[in-house]
Each structure stands twice: as C-alpha cells, then as structure tokens.
C-alpha cells in the first residue's frame, strides 16, 4: 500500500455508499479539482464555497494540503469527500471539510478529520483550528467528539447576523518513558 494512503471498508450503508466497498483517504491531485468543486457546490452555499481559483491554488500551495476520500462505485472512481488544510508554523487549520450528502453518516468526515489530527501529530503542530456556523449545533457537537472546543465567537463571520465559532483541538504529545533527561540520572 502506498505511503500515506489508508483504506477503509464501508459496510451496512444505504444508497450509493453501499456500492462503494473501499474508501481511500489520499492527498488530492490536480485531476481531482472538478470533483472537489462539485463537492463544494453540493455542500456549501455560493457565498461559502471556495472558488475554482482558490481550490487550484490550494492544490499547488506549499502551505496548504487538500485531501480526498475516494473509492469506486460500480467500478467507477468516485470522490465522496474533501478537506482543505492550511499549515501554519504551530497549527493546522481545517479550512474546508465537505462530504457529499449521500455519504454523510458513513464515517467519511470522521476519517478526514482523523487524517488532519494524525498529520498534526506527525508534523509537531500544537493545535488544529477551524470555524463552524454557530447555529449548526449538530456540526459543532460533532467536532466536539474529536476534542475540539469553542474558544471564540466570530460576529458576522458569514454575513450580518450569521456568526461563527472558532474551535480548537490541542495536540498533546505523549510523555517520554524512561531514560535520562538533561544529563541527569
């Protein structure tokens, strides 16, 4: 299996996702741009979705990464979800995370968030941040299941009267076991 690629088997799912037997979380390629744009179009209002230009930039940027959850439905490739990450010196920001409606509830979003958490650990970041619609209690509650906590309200973030919350998950490094520290025994 290629490095950085995880395969997940979906079972017990209802519509299209039942026919998608293997789900792969992988780094997006330029060839995925149209599928990512379609996901953004189907998941976000026009005011909230990323433009073609912004997504194209994200795919090429050294400070961003784009991840897709892909598999095959009836033998045809299908992208079920996408995530755009912004990499800062000490943190990773989940800029965008979207899963096609027919795949919601199947674990696609959970696997994408877990990829961001794993990447933060691997690259020694101290936190992961994101913004979410304050009114969407289901979404903010879902992020809380990963350990995210609200630490700021962003007034009028989406539009007048449409506030967002900024959420953060701290990345805790495991303590070292045994051995000498700072030359002492």
68 beta partners: 26, 82
| Residue range(s) defining the domain that contains residue 139 | 126-173
Q: What is the pLDDT of residues 21-76, one digit of tens each?
A: 578 999 999 999 999 999 999 999 998 999 999 999 999 999 999 999 987 777 77
29, 72: one domain = yes
| pTM for this entry | 0.82
Q: Is 166 part of any domain?
A: yes
169, 138: one domain = yes
* Cα 141 to chain centroid, rounded: 16
Contact 148, 113 (CB under 8 A): no
83, 159: one domain = no
Contact 39, 93 (CB under 8 A): no
70, 139: one domain = no
- Closest to 11 in 3D by CA, of 103, 106, 141: 106
Q: Is 96 part of any domain?
A: yes
Task: Identify the domain boundary among 125, 143, 165.
Answer: 125
Q: What is the pLDDT of residues 98-138, one digit of tens each?
A: 999 988 888 899 999 999 999 999 999 999 999 999 999 99
Q: What is the CATH number of the domain that holds 48?
A: 3.40.630.30
Cα separation, 4 vs 26, in Å, equals 7
Q: Is 144 part of any domain?
A: yes
Contacts 24+ apart (CB under 8 A), 174-177: none
Q: Is 179 part of any domain?
A: no
């Amino acid at each position: 299996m290629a490095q950085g690629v995880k395969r997940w088997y979906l079972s017990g799912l209802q519509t299209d996702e039942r026919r998608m037997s293997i789900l792969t979380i992988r780094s997006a390629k330029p060839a995925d741009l149209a599928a990512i744009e379609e996901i953004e179009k189907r998941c976000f209002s026009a005011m909230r979705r990323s433009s073609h230009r912004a997504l194209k930039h994200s795919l090429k940027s050294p400070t961003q990464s784009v991840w897709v959850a892909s598999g095959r439905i009836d033998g045809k490739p299908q992208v079920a979800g996408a995530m755009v990450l912004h990499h800062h010196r000490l943190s990773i920001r989940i800029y965008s995370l979207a899963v096609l409606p027919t795949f919601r509830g199947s674990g696609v979003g959970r696997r994408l968030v877990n990829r961001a958490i794993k990447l933060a650990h691997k690259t020694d970041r101290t936190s992961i941040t994101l913004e979410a619609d304050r009114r969407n209690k289901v979404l903010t509650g879902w992020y809380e299941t990963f350990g995210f906590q609200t630490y700021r309200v962003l007034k009028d973030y989406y539009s007048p009267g449409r506030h967002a919350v900024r959420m953060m998950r701290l990345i805790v490094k495991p303590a070292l076991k045994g051995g000498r520290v700072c030359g002492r025994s």
